[in-house]
Chain A
Amino acid sequence: MKIELPQVGQSVTEGTIGRWLKQVGQRVEKYAPLVEVLTDKVNMEMPSPVAGVLTRIVAQEGETVPMGAVIAEIAVAEEEQVITPPSAAKSGQMPADRIGTLLKNVAPMGPTGSGGPLMETAPSQAAPASAAPPLPPAPTAPEDGPTAPGRYSPVVQRLAAEHRVDLSKVKGTGIGGRVTRKDVEDAIQVKGGAAPPGEARPVAADEERMPLSPMRRIIAEHMVKSATQIPHVWSLVEADVTELAMRREALKEGFRAARGFPLTYLAFVLQAVAESLKEHPLLNSSWGGDAIILKKRVSIGIAVAAPSGLVVPVIRDADTKGIAALAQEVDSLTQKARKGFLALQDVQGGTFTVNNTGALGSVASNPLINYPQAAILTTEAIVKRPVVVNDTVAVRSMMNLVLGFDHRIMDGAEAGAFLQAVKRRLEAMGPETAVG
């Protein structure tokens, strides 16, 4: 059995061999003094850890050896059993030099110059490759003056990432123009839409949470944007649709029987609107920041009350379609909307919107523009009213038309001219109007 120089006193790293008290070939009892060891703390007689016969002296007198080094070998008598504690560890070879070595696997010094037992500490785990992103820069303190662009507080960064807000576009109201949490929250409001799934408002016991469909989310975002970003103005005209009403009355039964879908007022209105839009292209545009984007196609959205709420399916290229075709599309889209069959493309690509608020009995509305369009028209309920015609009072079927428009894109004159164009066309419709 190899005999090692034991660790005595945690601050000691090496010992000098003194006199060997047993010679090679001599029998040694357990605990009997074996060799003198001199350290810088204690001079001691090292007792033999086992009983046996000393067979070899490795470290000679005067030799300085590190703790844990083999200094002798003893042939252990067979009945001697060496007990090793289960988790006790060998002190191992410790380098000793004149500079000193920082021992990493020993307990620190105790109050009397010692510490706990020598236990090999597990080699420290290599730091796992960091998966975490580097920390964002610290927020600039107020006294540092204006905030450098691109330096955002942790909460601002988190909110921007969650809501996909481009922080470079957010105006800061904090010191030095710093983007504050409130600024980014406002930007999220403007960007619109409900809170993202991660930030869902908790539902109270008396509430029910109804998840948003993708369609609903798009509409909601558009509406918020519309209300917050577009300077809305509205204007109302009344149109005498007596002749139109009579014409529709005359045709509707046969039309339905022949084609299987109703001849609605809306179809007439859509045609008048489509033609008027061609005449007034500013109404068929959108705001482009530093320009007005004119749309070459005329695709009119029609607001439909679907079970899930207001949806606006789009009749593409409405200016190329006759009244019957428009009536068919209105019918088809309305059916799809009410059954929830609208596809995403059914609600995209609109350049103008007509909302038949009259179907709900309304006679005047203040419509919200379907963002990013330039205007929206409502057709209110047709009501018979006494109207002065040629200085006499007559009972006429009257319909209010309300136009909401983006004042950035146009002024009242253009909007009024468009309204008059629609009114003129509707009032011109009568016995001769072909539905195609």
Chain B
Amino acid sequence: MREEMERDERVFVMGEDIGTRGGVFLATDGFLQKFGAERVIDTPLAESSIAGIALGAATSGMRPIAEMEFADFIWPVFNQIVGEAARVRYGTNGGLHVPLVLRAPYGGGVRGGLYHSQSVESFFAHVPGLKVVVPATPYDAKGLLKSAIRDDDPVVFLEHKRTYRLVRGEVPDEEYTLPIGVADVKLEGSDISVITYGLMLHHCIEAARELAKEGISVEVVDLRTLRPLDEATVLVSVRKTGKALVVHEDTRAVGIGAEVAATIAEKAFDRLDGPVTRLAGPDVPAMPFSPPLEEMFMLDSKNIADAVRTLARY
């Protein structure tokens, strides 16, 4: 963000507690001093207007980054993002467009309870006109965020809260971008494809390394972008392995896994050697607070390894 704000003076950030506080997760620490209050805007507690104002600024030639303090508070912006931003280009026949990034920290396993743990991606990934990006590693986060800021369409950029602290990775200082809409094979394998994103990527890789000792060769595909979905990378992998397991933290029904599974069934049917399987969060309204209850909700590498073993034996 800092590099992009230095690079392009049309880029500015707005959200709650992003100024003096530097963001509740310190994503904008020091920005206020560096860029000033006009480009680092502390907003009232009014999410819908954060998105709506950012949208208006975006159609007027700016490149705003609007921040939701937590994805759990994203619902008031649903109308401005889904009902409005996603449709501006289409509804004006290309007359206006919305270079807007909506950042939101999401995800559980942080003792966040019902209102600081939610996964919101599938609601937005349903919407043509939006792009939904979910990086899992620091390297991907930088490259994809830069691309999102430079993108001419609205991008919902979801960062898993647990990856802020849990995942450390190399982030080159130099300039680079990663393309939106391109998945990444994080681990190559031949027996089974595990398709995932976000925090679950790390659990999947852990499980895959464990399974390698048992002679099960797992290919781990990190979707990185949920809309547009990189069907090609998924299909190449599944055509190779013949088996697919989709893993996500978000609840199971009508989730990303369903979309990925349907795509595989439609386009790689005659390469399948087992049922396309989903491993996802349980269908309860949200993640409970107490540790054993939270643990019950969150998947880990053990759950994933078990699911892979079952499918591998099939």
The stretch from B149-157, B214-222, B266-274, B287-295 touching chain A is B266-274
Cα distance A142–B275 in the bound complex, in angstroms: 9
A155 touches B275 (CB 8 A): no
Contacts of A181 in B (CB 8 A): 242, 273
B270 touches A139 (CB 8 A): no
- What's the nearest-Cβ distance from chain B to residue A395, in Å? 58
Closest to A183 in B: B273
A153 touches B313 (CB 8 A): no
The stretch from A172-180, A293-301, A365-373 touching chain B is A172-180
B272 touches A153 (CB 8 A): yes
Cα distance A180–B310 in the bound complex, in angstroms: 14
- What's the nearest-Cβ distance from chain A to residue B309, in Å? 11
Q: CB < 8 Å: which of B272, B310, B313, B314 contacts A155?
A: B272
A180 touches B275 (CB 8 A): no
Interface status of A141 (Cβ within 8 A of chain B): yes
B270 touches A180 (CB 8 A): no
B residues 250-283 near A (Cβ < 8 Å) are: 269-275
Interface status of A167 (Cβ within 8 A of chain B): no
Contacts of B273 in A (CB 8 A): 153-156, 180-181
Closest to A139 in B: B275
A154 touches B314 (CB 8 A): no
Interface string of A163-192 (1 = CB under 8 A from B): 000000000001100101100000000000
A154 touches B275 (CB 8 A): no
Closest to B277 in A: A141
Interface string of A138-159 (1 = CB under 8 A from B): 1101100000000001111110
- What's the nearest-Cβ distance from chain A to residue B264, in Å? 11
A154 touches B271 (CB 8 A): yes
B272 touches A142 (CB 8 A): no
In the complex, the 8 A-B pairs of residues with the closest C-beta atoms, listed nearest first: A181-B273, A158-B270, A155-B273, A154-B270, A153-B273, A154-B272, A181-B242, A155-B271
Provide 10 A-B residue pairs closer than 8 Å at the C-beta atoms, listed in order of the A residue.
Answer: A138-B275, A142-B314, A154-B271, A154-B272, A155-B270, A156-B273, A158-B270, A174-B313, A175-B314, A181-B242
Binding site for B on A (CB under 8 A): 138-139, 141-142, 153-158, 174-175, 178, 180-181
Knowing that A142-B313, A181-B242 touch, tell me 10 more A-B residue pairs with CB under 8 angstroms.
A138-B275, A142-B314, A153-B274, A154-B271, A154-B273, A155-B271, A156-B273, A157-B270, A158-B271, A180-B314
